[in-house]
Amino acid sequence: MGIYLNPDNDRYQMMLNTDTFVDKSMLIKYTNDLFATEKRFICVSRPRRFGKSVNLNMLSAYYSKGCDSREMFGSLKLAQTSEWDKHLNKYNVIHINMQRFLSNSNSMDELLALLRRSLIKDFKRAYKHYEDIDFDCGLSFCMEDIFAEEKIPFVILIDEWDCVFREHRNDMDAQKKYLDFIRDWLKDQSYVALAYMTGILPIKKYGTHSALNMFTEYSMTNSGKMAEFTGFSENEVAELCERYHKDINEMRYWYNGYQVDESIHLYCPRSVVAAIDMGRYDNYWTRTETYEALSKYIAMDMDGLQEAAERLLAGQRVKIDINTFQNDMTSMSSRDDVLTLLVHLGYLSYLQKTEEVFIPNKEVRAEFVTGMRAEGKWKKCIDAIQQSKELLELTINGKAGEVANRIGVIHRENCDPKHYNNEQALRYTVLLSYFYAREKYTVIQEMPSGNGFADILLLPNFQNPTGIPIIIELKYDKSADSAIKQIKDRHYPDAVKDYDRMLLVGINYDKDSTDKKHECVIEEYVK
């Protein structure tokens, strides 16, 4: 056993010893299916805190011939499959964290030299008895010699593979040199039986091409068959909540929402575990360089970015094109590039089917507000958010005139003038105005009723068991009374089950009025 070559299984054993352990061993079945095939190159990108390093420790413990892990894996889900131990502890494993080498280097040349030197040092310890191995001929040639002697291929596991692109964002020469090294080390090499890299960003592009095109990428915008393996699934969180007597609804409200597949919603593992360990639901987001990116990028003056950010805060989805994103943190040429980056950093969730992004949960929503508060250009938006609690109280108390006035102010101050006079602007203005309502209500847009769709439904959530539902209908150049009439005529209240009493709110915007007039009518309704 060396430091990087054929490590033991101690790191994964520590995870097994942890009381909040979640079994992700079926990942190994997937990697075994790709083992020693043309599909053996895997790159998984996820935000921080999503369990990428834990999975690498597991793969190392399984494949490394430097340890005996039969008992360890014999009790996991993997052992319930046929031939589960086919590749158990049979291979030369190289397990490295690239961040460690970057942190101890002043240049890319130093990083690569340190990496080569460290791996070859391990090789010399393990294979010094082989006379035909030339340890001075370079890393790839040395590994070719080892493979020729032993006939045992390598499993290459690289954590934080993309740290170079995050910390040397503007050094294109260093980035290209690094990519060339990875390509020459791994591509078309018969000694590689499996290569598995993890990071935050997908593989860097130059133009429309990638230097590492042998890798299949599994990212936050295209998770494929790897979706369930990195991050906690709904069922896994439900099991933890049952074990530790936690409210699954509140856990879902705080940390769910990363919809990486039509049927798979992921939770951030670190946040779920922290909520269990600390005994309270809170914001456990770690402020790393990714937080700095949020604050920096949402302040960029790109066409449509500010409007998109406000719509996202209002709970709406925003359609984007992810294809121009260059998989780095500097090449931002459009609103969509910024929003795509925020998906990879974990601040937005992406729906592949509809090509839309949205803020996934309460924890991340709070980070958005914090990031905006630090930038002066968002002051009016932050003021609207801070006033939203008072607006909800005015609505519940039936103060229709004051509600109309406040929504009018928010509409004027937060809408781009060229988008002001349309129904979509009115919708996200109202949703932004009721930002605080998400603390006590589930906000449902376009609620189906059987006779059409109600614009907005505020349905009391688990934190507001005695609350009253609120149905909001929006009109444009009509009247608030006509909005109330539509709610009744189309029987929208009948679609709100388990409630006999609710508030009906009609809001109208008259674009031709000189004072940009908003009108509101609030009625109590009893079935």
Give me the CATH number covering residue 73. Answer: 3.40.50
Mean pLDDT of the region 265-292: 83
Q: How many domains does the chain have?
A: 3
Per-residue confidence band for 210, with pLDDT thresholds at 50, 70 and 90: low
pLDDT of residue 460: 95
**Are residues 193 and 69 both part of a single domain?**
yes
Nearest alpha-carbon partner for 315 in 368, 352, 265: 368
pLDDT, tens digit (0-9, with 9 covering 90-100), for 46-96: 998 899 999 999 999 999 999 999 999 999 999 999 999 999 999 999 999
Q: Which of 218, 253, 269 is the last residue of a domain?
A: 218
Per-residue confidence band for 133, with pLDDT thresholds at 50, 70 and 90: confident
Inform me whether the pLDDT recorded for 415 exceeds 70. no
Mean pLDDT of the region 19-31: 97
**Are residues 175 and 279 both part of a single domain?**
no
Phi, psi (deg, nearest 5) at residue 441: -135, 150
Inform me whether the pLDDT recorded for 374 exceeds 80. no
CA dihedral 248, 503, 429, 337 (to 10 degrees): 20
Helix 305-313 with 335-345: angle, nearest 10 deg: 40
Inform me whether the pLDDT recorded for 204 exceeds 80. no
For residues 378 and 5, which has the higher predicted lDDT (pLDDT)? 5
Residue 161 lies in a domain: yes
pLDDT, tens digit (0-9, with 9 covering 90-100), for 302-355: 778 888 888 898 899 999 999 988 888 888 888 999 999 999 989 999 998 899
Q: What pTM was estimated for this model as a whole? A: 0.90
pLDDT of residue 147: 95
DSSP class of residue 162? T
Inform me whether the pLDDT recorded for 293 exceeds 70. no
Q: Which of 218, 242, 272 is the last residue of a domain?
A: 218
Instruction: Tell how strand 41-45 and strand 216-218 pair up.
Output: parallel
**Are residues 303 and 400 both part of a single domain?**
no
Inform me whether the pLDDT recorded for 41 exceeds 70. yes
Considering the chain, what is the average pLDDT of its residues?
89
pLDDT of residue 115: 97
**Are residues 431 and 493 both part of a single domain?**
yes
**Are residues 138 and 254 both part of a single domain?**
no
**Are residues 155 and 212 both part of a single domain?**
yes
**Are residues 419 and 274 both part of a single domain?**
no
**Are residues 193 and 299 both part of a single domain?**
no
**Are residues 69 and 128 both part of a single domain?**
yes
Q: In terms of residue numbers, what domain contains 95?
A: 10-218
pLDDT, tens digit (0-9, with 9 covering 90-100), for 119-129: 999 999 998 88
Alpha-carbon radius of gyration of the chain: 27
**Percent of the chain's residues with pLDDT above 90:** 65
pLDDT of residue 380: 79
pLDDT of residue 326: 85
pLDDT of residue 424: 75
**Are residues 280 and 162 both part of a single domain?**
no
Inform me whether the pLDDT recorded for 419 exceeds 90. no
**Are residues 121 and 17 both part of a single domain?**
yes
DSSP class of residue 346? T
Mean pLDDT of the region 484-493: 94
